[in-house]
């Protein structure tokens, strides 16, 4: 066996991140002042609906003095300003730390004269063509051309470097700002994460005494009933299970997903789903919510906010978010891992302390869960009364 045949690390699915985030564009080819102003216009227009970020490099060619306590030897300085929070690091950020800081951003614009990103917007400026030619190898995924006032066409060297250049949109830098903003708005809409569903059915049902997911409320086992409801909203729906043994018991007509983060209950199931498909959003729902119906799920999906890490219902427990009927966006994955690293495995704690969209249920009773035989009998009676009312 050669070294190339030997794999030292388990292969896992990596999120589709760039240098900073999932959706990032380097604006390159124009003066830095023009790039900064353009980025400000785009961010101003889109920040009401998306989390936006900007990355740049200082233009001070002289040795820049260290700010604050960094000059005294501190490695990190944190300042809680009145309108914002400031962090100064002494050491350069690694690519991994950089992506972690930007992971919650929906849009990252980068000054491409100093930083690189996985997609590019190229400004064609007659005064900057020599500089642009030097960066031609960085133009790996050009998605938009912007013509400065002194430029009338795409230069020959750019046509030669980008075979499909004629398929790329072209706008005027100063006159077409509305079209430029609409370009980025459309890109972000296209990048909305696909929604998957996950039925939490891997618990041991200790208090109930038998598998809660197997209770027949609506003519079939509850886990399959919930899966059928979620199929109306999700690209793929999986039933979470503890291990391979429990997976073998599942109806083969339904997809199942064994926990790979074991011993963590629902938290481990959510992490296992993201580990399997980290670029999908996940509509998580527990199998012990028999009063959840199609209208409750429709309301959740209709009010999904991808700018926050999750969209959840408010529970009747101290008005906290209900974590087990929630849409978790891909940006929640690193946050869930960070909480786990600090010794927390409560999804509600993550939601309470994060930027989420919290909805009020039109029927708060629909969020009632069933954990004991007594609760099961009470809900059975409630459902019978409802059906009798509808029948009359």
Q: Which residues contact 122 (CB under 8 A, 6 or more apart)?
A: 28, 29, 132, 139, 142, 144, 145, 146, 158
Domains for the chain: give ranges and CATH numbers.
24-59+95-190 (3.40.50.300), 195-387 (3.90.550.10)
CA distance linking residue 108 with residue 23, whole number of Å: 6
How large is the average pLDDT for residues 132-139? Answer: 93
Q: Which two tokens stand for residue 226?
A: 């919930």
Q: Which residues contact 273 (CB under 8 A, 6 or more apart)?
A: 196, 198, 238, 240, 257, 282, 284
Torsion (CA) 168, 173, 179, 181 in degrees, nearest 10: 100
Give 43's pLDDT tier (boundaries 50, 70, 90): very high
Strand partners for 79 = 86
How large is the average pLDDT for residues 183-204? Answer: 92
CA distance linking residue 369 with residue 200, whole number of Å: 12
Of the listed ranges 200-204, 324-328, 363-367, the least confidently predicted one is 200-204
- DSSP secondary structure letters along 314-329: EPSSTT-EEEEEEEEP
Q: How many CB atoms lie within 10 A of CB 168?
A: 15
Q: What is the pLDDT of residue 60?
A: 66
Question: pLDDT tens for residues 98-132?
Answer: 999 999 999 999 999 999 999 999 999 999 999 99
Single out the residue of 233, 238, 235, 251 nearest to residue 200, CA to CA: 238
Between 109 and 318, residue with greater pLDDT:
109
Question: pTM of this prediction?
Answer: 0.90
Tokens 């951003």 belong to: 105
CA distance linking residue 250 with residue 256, whole number of Å: 7
Q: End-to-end distance of the chain based on CA atoms, in angstroms?
A: 74
Q: Which two tokens stand for residue 113?
A: 């004269």
CA distance linking residue 242 with residue 239, whole number of Å: 10
Single out the residue of 319, 285, 142, 316 nearest to residue 212, CA to CA: 285
Between 318 and 359, residue with greater pLDDT:
359
CA distance linking residue 282 with residue 190, whole number of Å: 18
CA distance linking residue 165 with residue 163, whole number of Å: 6
Q: Which two tokens stand for residue 294?
A: 């199609």
Question: pLDDT tens for residues 330-340?
Answer: 999 999 999 99
How large is the average pLDDT for residues 245-274? Answer: 91
């Amino acid at each position: 066996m050669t070294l190339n045949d030997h794999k030292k690390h388990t292969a896992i699915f990596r999120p589709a991140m760039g240098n900073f985030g999932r959706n990032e564009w380097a604006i390159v080819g124009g003066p830095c002042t023009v790039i900064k102003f353009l980025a400000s216009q785009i961010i101003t227009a889109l920040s009401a609906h998306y989390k936006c970020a900007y990355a740049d490099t200082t233009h001070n060619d002289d040795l820049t003095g260290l700010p604050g306590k960094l000059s005294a030897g501190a490695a990190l300085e944190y300042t809680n300003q009145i309108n914002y929070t400031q962090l100064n690091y002494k050491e350069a950020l690694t690519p991994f730390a950089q992506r972690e800081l930007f992971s919650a951003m929906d849009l990252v614009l980068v000054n491409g004269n100093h930083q690189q990103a996985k997609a590019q917007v190229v400004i064609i400026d007659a005064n900057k063509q020599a500089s642009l030619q030097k960066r031609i190898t960085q133009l790996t995924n050009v998605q938009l051309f912007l013509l400065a006032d002194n430029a009338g066409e795409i230069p020959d060297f750019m046509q030669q470097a980008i075979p499909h250049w004629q398929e790329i949109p072209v706008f005027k830098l100063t006159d077409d700002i509305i079209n430029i903003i609409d370009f980025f708005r459309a890109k972000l809409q296209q990048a909305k994460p696909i929604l998957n569903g996950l039925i939490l059915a891997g618990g041991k049902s200790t208090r109930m005494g038998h598998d809660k997911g197997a209770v027949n409320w609506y003519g079939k086992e509850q886990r399959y009933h919930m899966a059928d409801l979620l199929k109306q909203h999700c690209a793929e729906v999986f039933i979470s299970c503890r291990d391979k043994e429990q997976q073998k018991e599942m109806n083969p007509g339904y997809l199942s997903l064994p926990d790979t983060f074991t011993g963590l209950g629902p938290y481990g199931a959510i992490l296992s789903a993201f580990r399997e498909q980290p670029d999908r959003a996940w509509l998580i729902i527990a199998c012990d919510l028999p009063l959840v119906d199609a209208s409750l799920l429709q309301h959740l999906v209709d009010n999904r906010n991808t700018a926050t890490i999750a969209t959840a219902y408010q529970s009747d427990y101290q008005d906290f978010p209900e974590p087990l009927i929630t849409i978790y966006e891909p940006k929640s994955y690193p946050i869930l891992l960070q909480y786990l690293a600090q010794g927390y495995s409560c999804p509600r704690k993550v939601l309470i302390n994060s930027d989420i969209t919290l909805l009020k249920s039109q029927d708060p009773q629909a969020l009632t869960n069933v954990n004991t035989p007594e609760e099961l009998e009470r809900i059975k009676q409630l459902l019978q009364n409802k059906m009798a009312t509808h029948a009359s």
